[in-house]
């Protein structure tokens, strides 16, 4: 199997559909994504764009009505003796996935900490569960490790907290416990699916800083799923913008925030008021995301796109290369496309953002 | 300034859970809303912002304090006429557009329900015309009146919620986290719609949210709540340019900025009430410039403004 040299996890042409009562929903339509060691990749998109489904496929958590039509998810598995081999996670059986990958190599943090914790078990037990399952250690070692983890995620009086039940903790504390559980068996990859959406802004900031700190200490690779561009700016090295089951723009975080090329990315950036926006109206993307029950013809974003060209109605744009790391799927980048500029308000704002950032560059 | 539309004075709302335990959700909160303006209430979950909204619209019976609407006391028992007036002039938009719409009613009937109850029309044709006009106003088509809520997307459902509130031509709309459940691009659509409607009808909003950047964008004045106390209030400029209370500062610093080079270097300011030794019940309201007020003891204020 061919795999990008530096990548630790690689999605290749992933294509997934769901059988529903209403018909077949083609949720993921050819997703390619690389995660390199030690990096943070963010997947941004609206609800229903397929960002959660993509990563759930990697850990075998897809719902029963899902069909994987094609594609591979390659993972560079490092054995305990130090040798490396590449495995296709989609080819593994559920049993193998459970034994060797889930939790142990790839751990996941979900959106709502209340529903991902067991309400009838003390948090100490829940953290030790993973350690005892994946590592051959006795209970005392696991207990010590659990204490260490609780301290790592910034929970004070860890010894006392070990005996608490989830309902005795606040939302932010619970999410810290979930992170501690995810880290319990030293995974290579941490997948965070909207980890802070259910939390308050002040706590969100704290949790994001915590994940960043742990990542640099443990050398984790992180996939971040979010719809909040502010969060992306804080945590990500690379950004993938997803729309209607495809990645429509990818680049490093500066390229996406300072020189976005896809009209949808423009729309997302413009729709978010920053604290300096004084314009009378917010720029909004008209309409709503397409229903993937009906296979879109041409570019799925065309009906909402003020800059749509004639060809958008006929053919889906390929990824055009902007720089070594920056690609966007819009016909506007085709050599024979008319020169189109982003909306002037957004341009002014990005200009301002770049100026502010230059102080640090 | 003109007479305030809504005057809240020392509003206290306690919930007795058991003989020994009372939740003190709101403790002595005061603020005014003037006609045609937007007042934003921000704070973390559990700060009492939703409770205030619900007390104002009389879903709760306040423990103490006064709420005046157009100069009339509306806390406690009311005569029929005042109650009727309130039910027409004050409306609410809820957070979750799915659970706040009756799934067994057509959208046209949901919007028209208020008109039916208050007999605001002389013929069915007139009522249907009013509903159709309202649908138009919120960017839905008239054909949508015949559909049920489940046939709409989240953003469209929230428009139905807005249409239902607006059809009575209210003077005050309480919007409780009405955009939190929507996607970013749809949030912008709904906020623009709310602004347009305010421009054309002159209604006032009490905008309750936890997303500070949206609140800043839509509000004329802001109140910051923490643990049931209004810790700071003032015009949007006053609060954002010169936050005084450490909780406000911490809240402002936590809003992520969509600018990676800056955001990556920035750290949020933590606020620990106990470590700072702040006891809200000891504080009194201090007037700073204009309408800017902050809850503090003299000693705290001196420390914070130093």
pLDDT in tens, B269-283: 888 888 788 888 888
How many domains does the structure of chain B reveal? 1
pLDDT at res. A361: 65
A4 pLDDT band, cuts 50/70/90, is confident
DSSP 8-state code for residue B147: S
A228 in contact with B at a CB cutoff of 8 Å?
yes
Rounded-to-integer distance, Cα B172 and Cα A185, Å: 54
B254–A204 CB contact, under 8 Å: yes
Calculate mean pLDDT across residues A146-155. Answer: 90
In total, the C-beta contacts within 8 angstroms joining chain A to chain B are: 134
Do the beta carbons of residue B286 and residue B230 sit within 8 Å? Answer: no
pLDDT at res. B182: 77
A residues 259-298 near B, CB within 8 Å? 267-275, 277, 280-286, 288-289
Do the beta carbons of residue A1 and residue A74 sit within 8 Å? Answer: yes
**For the purposes of burial, counting CB atoms within 10 Å of the CB of A335, is it exposed (0-12), middle (13-18) or buried (19 or more)?**
exposed
Question: Considering the domain boundaries, does residue B201 fall inside one?
Answer: yes
pLDDT at res. A102: 87
Rounded-to-integer distance, Cα B244 and Cα A54, Å: 45
pLDDT in tens, A13-60: 999 999 988 889 999 999 999 999 999 999 998 888 889 899 999 988
Residue A75 scores a pLDDT above 90: yes
Structure tokens at A317: 């744009």
A202–B240 CB contact, under 8 Å: no
CA dihedral B290, B291, B297, B298 (to 10 degrees): 10
Do the beta carbons of residue A304 and residue A285 sit within 8 Å? Answer: yes
A324 pLDDT band, cuts 50/70/90, is very high
Question: Considering the domain boundaries, does residue B57 fall inside one?
Answer: yes
B residues 180-219 near A, CB within 8 Å? 183-189, 191-192, 195, 210-214, 216-217
Closest CB to A272 among B184, B189, B261 = B184
Mutation target for B interface from A284, A286, A289, A305: give the one with most B CBs within 10 A. A284
Mutation target for B interface from A39, A42, A196, A202: give the one with most B CBs within 10 A. A202
Residue A1 scores a pLDDT above 60: no
Q: What is the CATH number of the domain that holds B183?
A: 3.40.50.300
Rounded-to-integer distance, Cα B128 and Cα B142, Å: 10
pLDDT in tens, B71-112: 999 988 888 999 999 999 999 998 888 888 999 999 999 999
Q: Could you give the angle at the alpha carbon of B99 between the alpha carbons of B94 and B100, nearest 5°?
A: 40
pLDDT at res. A31: 94
* Structure-model confidence comparison of residues A155 and A248, the more confident one: A248
pLDDT at res. A276: 67
Question: Considering the domain boundaries, does residue B1 fall inside one?
Answer: no
- Nearest-CA distance from B48 to chain A in Å? 14
Residue A326 scores a pLDDT above 80: yes
A279 pLDDT band, cuts 50/70/90, is low
Calculate mean pLDDT across residues A313-333. Answer: 93
Residue A296 scores a pLDDT above 70: yes
Rounded-to-integer distance, Cα B134 and Cα B146, Å: 14
ipTM summary value: 0.79
pTM of full prediction above 0.80 = yes
Q: In what order do the strands lie in the sheet with A238-243?
A: A106-109, A189-193, A221-226, A40-44, A238-243, A246-252, A327-328, A320-321
pLDDT at res. B229: 93
Closest by CA position to B93, among listed B4, B7, B203: B203
CB atoms within 10 A of CB A121: 13
* Structure-model confidence comparison of residues A79 and B52, the more confident one: B52
B257–A281 CB contact, under 8 Å: no
Closest CB to B185 among A233, A254, A271 = A271
B191–A202 CB contact, under 8 Å: no
Question: Considering the domain boundaries, does residue B219 fall inside one?
Answer: yes
pLDDT in tens, A171-202: 888 999 999 999 988 899 999 998 887 778 88
Mutation target for A interface from B181, B184, B240: give the one with most A CBs within 10 A. B184
pLDDT at res. A275: 65
Classify strands B284-287 and B293-296 as parallel, antiparallel or unpaired. antiparallel
pLDDT at res. A263: 94
Range of the domain at B81: 6-305
CB atoms within 10 A of CB A293: 12
pLDDT in tens, chain B (306 residues): 578 999 999 999 999 888 888 889 999 999 999 999 999 999 888 888 889 999 999 999 999 999 999 999 998 888 899 999 999 999 999 888 888 899 999 999 999 999 999 988 889 999 999 999 989 888 888 888 999 998 888 888 888 999 999 898 899 999 998 887 777 777 888 888 899 889 999 999 999 988 888 888 899 999 999 999 999 999 999 999 899 999 999 988 888 888 888 888 888 888 888 878 888 888 888 888 888 999 988 888 888 887
Look over chain A and give the mean of its residue pLDDT values, rounded to a whole number. 89
B249 in contact with A at a CB cutoff of 8 Å?
no
Question: Considering the domain boundaries, does residue B191 fall inside one?
Answer: yes
């Amino acid at each position: 199997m061919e795999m990008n040299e530096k990548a630790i996890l690689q999605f290749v042409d992933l294509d997934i559909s769901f059988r529903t009562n209403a018909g077949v929903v083609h949720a993921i339509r050819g997703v390619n994504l690389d995660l390199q060691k030690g990096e943070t990749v963010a997947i941004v998109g609206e609800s229903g764009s397929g960002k959660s489904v993509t990563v759930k496929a990697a850990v075998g958590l897809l719902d029963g009505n899902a069909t994987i039509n094609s594609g591979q998810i390659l993972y560079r598995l490092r054995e305990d003796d130090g040798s490396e081999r590449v495995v296709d996670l989609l080819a593994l059986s559920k049993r193998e996935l459970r034994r060797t990958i889930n939790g142990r190599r790839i751990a996941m943090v979900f959106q709502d900490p209340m529903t991902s914790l067991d309400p009838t078990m003390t948090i100490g037990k829940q953290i030790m569960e993973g350690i005892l399952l994946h590592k051959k250690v006795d209970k005392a070692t696991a207990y010590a490790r659990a204490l260490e983890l609780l301290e790592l995620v910034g929970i004070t009086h860890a010894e006392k907290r070990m005996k608490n039940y989830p309902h005795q903790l606040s939302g932010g504390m619970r999410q810290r416990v979930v992170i501690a559980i995810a880290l319990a068996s030293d995974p290579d990859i941490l997948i965070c699916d909207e980890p802070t959406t259910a939390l308050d802004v002040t706590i969100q900031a704290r949790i994001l800083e915590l994940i960043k700190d742990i990542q640099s200490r443990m050398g984790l690779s992180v996939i971040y799923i979010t719809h909040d561009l502010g969060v992306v700016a804080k945590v990500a090295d690379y950004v993938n913008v997803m729309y209607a089951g495809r990645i429509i723009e990818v680049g490093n975080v500066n390229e996406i925030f300072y020189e976005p090329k896809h009209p949808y990315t423009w729309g997302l950036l413009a729709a978010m008021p920053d604290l300096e926006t004084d314009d009378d109206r917010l720029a909004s993307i008209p309409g709503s995301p397409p229903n993937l029950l009906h296979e879109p013809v041409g570019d799925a974003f065309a009906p909402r796109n003020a800059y749509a060209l004639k060809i958008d109605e006929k053919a889906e744009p390929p990824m055009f290369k902007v720089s070594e790391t920056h690609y966007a799927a819009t016909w506007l980048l085709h050599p024979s496309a008319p020169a189109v500029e982003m909306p002037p308000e957004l341009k002014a704002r990005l200009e301002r953002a770049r100026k502010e950032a230059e102080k640090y560059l | 300034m003109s007479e305030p539309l809504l005057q809240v004075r020392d509003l206290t709302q306690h919930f007795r859970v058991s003989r020994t335990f009372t939740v003190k959700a709101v403790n002595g909160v005061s603020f005014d809303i003037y006609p045609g303006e937007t007042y934003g209430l921000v704070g973390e979950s559990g700060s009492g912002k939703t409770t205030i909204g619900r007390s104002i619209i009389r879903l709760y019976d306040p423990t103490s304090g006064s709420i005046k609407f157009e100069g009339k006391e509306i806390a406690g028992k009311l005569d029929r006429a005042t109650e009727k007036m309130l039910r027409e002039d004050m409306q609410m938009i809820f957070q979750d557009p799915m659970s706040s719409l009756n799934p067994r009613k057509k959208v046209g009937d949901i919007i028209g329900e208020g008109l039916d109850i208050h007999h605001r029309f002389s013929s069915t044709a007139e009522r249907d015309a009013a509903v159709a006009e309202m649908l138009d106003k919120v960017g839905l088509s008239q054909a949508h009146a015949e559909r049920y809520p489940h046939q709409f997307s989240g953003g469209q459902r929230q428009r139905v919620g807005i249409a239902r509130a607006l059809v009575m031509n209210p003077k005050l709309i309480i919007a409780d986290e009405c955009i939190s459940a929507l996607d970013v691009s749809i949030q912008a659509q709904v906020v623009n719609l709310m602004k347009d409607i305010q421009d054309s009808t002159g209604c006032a909003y009490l905008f309750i949210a936890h997303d500070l950047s949206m609140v800043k964008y839509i509000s004329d004045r802001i109140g910051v709540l923490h643990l049931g106390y209004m810790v700071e209030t003032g015009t949007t400029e006053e609060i954002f340019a010169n936050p005084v209370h450490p909780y406000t500062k911490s809240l402002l610093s936590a809003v992520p900025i969509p600018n990676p080079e800056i955001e990556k270097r920035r750290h949020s300011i933590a606020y620990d009430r106990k470590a700072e030794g702040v006891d809200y019940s000891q504080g009194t309201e201090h007037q700073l410039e204009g309408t800017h007020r902050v809850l503090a003891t003299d000693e705290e204020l001196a420390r914070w403004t130093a």
